[in-house]
Amino acid sequence: MDEGAFDHWHSEQLVLCRDDERGLRAVIAIDDTTLGPGLGGVRCVRYPSDAAAITEAQRLAAAMTLKNAFADLPFGGAKSVILAPEPGVDRRALMERFGQFVLRTGGAYLPGVDMGTTVEDLRVMGETGADVSCNEEDPSPWTALGVAAAVRAAVEHVDHREGIAGARVLIQGAGHVGAALAHDLAADGAEIVLADINADRARRVAEEVGGVTIPADEVIGAACDVFAPCSVAKVITPETVDRLRCRMIAGAANDTLLDARCAELLARRGIAYVPDFVSNAGGVIQIHSLRAGHDEERLRAEVLRIGLRTREVLEAAAHSGMTPLHVATERVRRILADARSAAAGARSSGAARRDDRSERALTHA
């Protein structure tokens, strides 16, 4: 989606943050708080323009609404972007100042780690008094565990079998999530292929799991059973769909598709697509579990439920003739509509009770 086509009024709240002394330029996009405070990571990367950064924050915030709602979490969707500062800027001071802006949202935004930020960054933000997540533990391994569950469910659904032994899985990106995913799937007997712009990193992970590597620019045309994007967004476009040589797509990267048209094109080619907001929810599930005080056994069970949700989406899509993206998105729309209806009913009931008390008070006056 180009910047000109994006609806900048889509977000519930948009906050621009500026501090010249500390070199801060940032944006907080709170997409929807129907289910609770907006939960979403803080990115700190370079963008071609300020408008591009704002658009991305809003777009990713909308994706977080889908992710959190589909995973049945008590959070809305939000995202923030810090424009990567110039060399020499005091990073701690930058994150501290951004934490002060987060604090100003009054709890409407709950930040976490994302591309370009760390657990230490979130810890500094939290020192300002802002409510933050990921300030003690990186959720990446749990994101990977959820993606692995989605991959297993996709293979079992498409191939009508149990397990993934022998399935060839191409993982794009050998960072924290991609590396953990490679280990998870290799342990179950999958054949792992890794690609990363950092060829040495891909090679190291491949050696650890007994896999192989391919050049990063050969990912789209590489033969595999499952393509698992775990780095950049929008790798699936109308132009790349025809070049794919996979049978399934399930990964950790947000916004895998350029737009909804790609879901239709994938379906026409018979490629089973697991919506990214379904497969990559392990991290937000871990955040909720930590805040709710769940033990690790319960956390693991909740993350592995991503496999069940994946199977439900793929089966519903097969039976209805709709794309998996349509099925999953419609489920979120129903969840949000029901929550809004329940909230409106509660407000009406509360107003009625107040009116009744007022009438009784007047009667006895």
Catalytically active residues, by annotation = 79
Integer CA distances (angstroms), 35 to 69, 103, 113, 270, 343, in order? 7, 20, 21, 35, 10
**Phi and psi at residue 201, to the nearest 5°:** -65, -45
Q: How far apart are CA 281 and CA 174, in angstroms?
A: 19
Q: How far apart are CA 358 and CA 76, in angstroms?
A: 35
**Phi and psi at residue 235, to the nearest 5°:** -80, -20
Bridge partner list, 240: none
Environment class of 61 (CB within 10 Å of its CB; exposed 0-12, middle 13-18, buried 19+): buried
DSSP H or E stretch at residue 38: strand 38-45
Helix, strand or coil for residue 46?
coil
